[in-house]
Amino acid sequence: MPQRVREKVDLALRSQRQHTITVLSCLLAVQDAFGYIPKLCIDQVAKFTGSTVNDVWGVISFYTNFSVNPPGEHILEVCWGTSCHILGAMDIAKSVLEEIGLDNEGTSSDGRVTVRFNTCLGACANAPVVSVDHKLEGRMTPDQAKVIVGAIKNIVAEDLDIES
């Protein structure tokens, strides 16, 4: 298993097309390939970029979008950037966390959903905004957020319909 992971990481690292390869670009490539950064590839990224393991950890810990833990089946992001904050993002975040049973960002105990906070989902005109598996839902309310969480928890991915 670890060998398979290392081979997949190696492919992700070597498949980068841009001229400048950095620790950041490598981590983005790995996260694209896995959905997270497997801890056992940290030394691989360090070696590939001529950096130290500490350098790589430094980049991972600086950017909140990197995670070293596998995500849940669905990713629910709550934007709490300025526009969303002004229009009630904190109440939405509270509603989502309560419904899932989390105190903060993280993954539900059943592995069904990962909650992340985002500083801007790029749809400020529709604030407050959440995204479910990268699909944006604007003008959110705390009650609508609960419905979305319920859908994620109870319906298989193909049937996930958060419009209703």
Task: Name the site residues for ligand FES (rule: CB under 6 A).
Answer: 79, 81-84, 120-124, 127, 129
Q: Is 116 exposed, middle or buried (0-12, 13-18, 19+ CB in 10 A)?
A: middle
Q: Which is nearer to ligand FES, 57 or 117 (CB)?
A: 117
Q: Is 94 exposed, middle or buried (0-12, 13-18, 19+ CB in 10 A)?
A: middle
Return the closest-CA partner of residue 36 out of 65, 10, 63.
65
Whether the Cβ atoms of residue 79 and residue 44 lie closer than 8 Å to each other: no
| Shortest CB 77 distance to ligand FES, Å | 10
| Shortest CB 80 distance to ligand FES, Å | 7
CA distance 146 to 15: 40
Q: Which is nearer to ligand FES, 121 or 148 (CB)?
A: 121
Q: Which is nearer to ligand FES, 38 or 128 (CB)?
A: 128
Q: CA dist 138 to 43, 129, 134, Å?
A: 40, 4, 12
Q: Which is nearer to ligand FES, 6 or 85 (CB)?
A: 85
| Shortest CB 116 distance to ligand FES, Å | 13
**Which residue is at the shortest CB distance from ligand FES?**
81
| Shortest CB 120 distance to ligand FES, Å | 4
